[in-house]
Copies of this chain bind each other. A is one copy, B any other.
Amino acid sequence: MTQTKSAVEFKQATLGNGLTVIAEVNPEARSVALGYFCKTGSRDESPEVAGVSHFLEHMLFKGSATRDALGVNLEFDQMGAQYNAYTSEENTVYYGAVLPEFAPRLLELWTDLMRPALRQEDFDTEKQVILEEIALYEDRPNVMLFDWGRAQYFAGHPLGHSVLGTTRSITALTRAQMADYLARRYVPGNLVLTLAGRVDWERTLEQVAQLTAGWPKGEAPRAYPEVKARVGELREPYPKATQTYLAVLAPGVSAQDPRRYAASILANILGEEGNSRLHWALTDRGLVESVGAGVDEADRAGLFYIYAQTHPVNEEAVKGVIREELGRLEREGVRPEELERAKNKLATALVFAGETPMQRLMSMGLGYIYNQTYEPLSEIARKVEAVTTADVNALLEEKPFSRAFYYSLVPA
């Protein structure tokens, strides 16, 4: 296949107030995606404000000093924007895509929302929404499995903090606590404004410099205590579980680790749905409803995970098969044909995940947050292509799965 020359260009600048702006400019694109990546999440919360990052994300859509919630909604709608936001353990991301002519307006809107009004009335109303969301998730053992499993695995480390918080922490949270968190975390040094697609770079820089001229400088440090992960097994009866839900958590690689492509390939070989070692050993034999494996590459820490859902009568058999497969993997390593299949899958998934400005935005913004560098898609694809069985087997030689933690929710 001949490679075509790509007109895509990476741009980067840091404003006087410390705000970083990055863009992947693609003149061939038909849309512009842009958003703010804030390096803050539940790992940055103290226990008394557990869930404040996620609650604050909701509050941004309630408006600023000059906009109310209805106005914010209508503006997104008038632009025909596709937009959303999410909060994880480590990041809070606000993103949207529009036709190029609306890009300045979308930028103005997101920038204004970074300084939310946090009106008491909106705060009180939204608190009820969050509490309902928590109650809703508690009805779903497959969701709580990871929330609670991580808390146990990370054993006090902030990476085990729940994104949603608890009914108790949210009920007790005050507007003043949220305002304090906002002031400390949403500072220019902790935000990356990211753009992708048909971006007018010069105009963007000029506009954002003007819009954020009044923002006080600031950095928001993050704590990196050592991870002392739990090993062994924990079974918790849960009244809302009608099946057995199992999570296996084991030490993996971080978002900064050059071995992360090898780790993704390993997880694919182990547990991709439809065709993987665990699929053939469990799903195909009718032992589970579902099983899968993946990686969570976090800031200076990471893990491999496996999840399985099964009839309670099969619980021990399923755990037995998983231990056996993990043992075999650590003893024998992976086969070349498995590696090739997994590389094809990963390379294709990367391409599909990079075909639109919105998708590029997400991958580029997170990549920058973790590594302060830009990697074009072609470079990532090259790194995937370069992974060898020796690379994957080197990960296995560290025996991560021998240090796994088995967490399950079982019917009460």
**Cβ proximity bits A73-103 to B, threshold 8 Å, 1 near / 0 not:** 1100111111000000000000001111110
Contact A31 B352 (CB under 8 A): yes
A179 to chain B, nearest CB (A): 29
Q: Which of A36-44, A186-194, A223-231, A340-348 contacts B (4 or more CB under 8 A)?
A: A340-348
Contact A80 B377 (CB under 8 A): no
A348 — which chain B residues lie within 8 A by C-beta? 31, 79-82, 98-99
Within 8 A of B (CB), among A343-370: 344-349, 351-352, 354-358
* Bound form: Cα–Cα A80–B353 in Å: 13
**Complexed CA–CA distance, A232 and B101 (Å):** 45
- Knowing A30-B377, A82-B348, A344-B78, say if A100 contacts B355 (CB, 8 Å): no
A358 to B351, CA, bound (A): 12
A239 within 8 A of B: no
Task: List 24 A-B pairs, Cβ < 8 Å.
Answer: A1-B101, A6-B28, A29-B355, A30-B351, A30-B377, A31-B351, A31-B352, A73-B274, A74-B275, A77-B274, A77-B345, A78-B341, A80-B344, A80-B345, A80-B346, A80-B348, A81-B348, A82-B348, A99-B348, A99-B351, A352-B356, A352-B358, A355-B355, A355-B357
Q: Interface on A for B, CB 8 Å cutoff? A: 1, 4, 6, 27-31, 73-74, 77-82, 97-102, 198, 274-275, 341, 344-349, 351-352, 354-358, 377
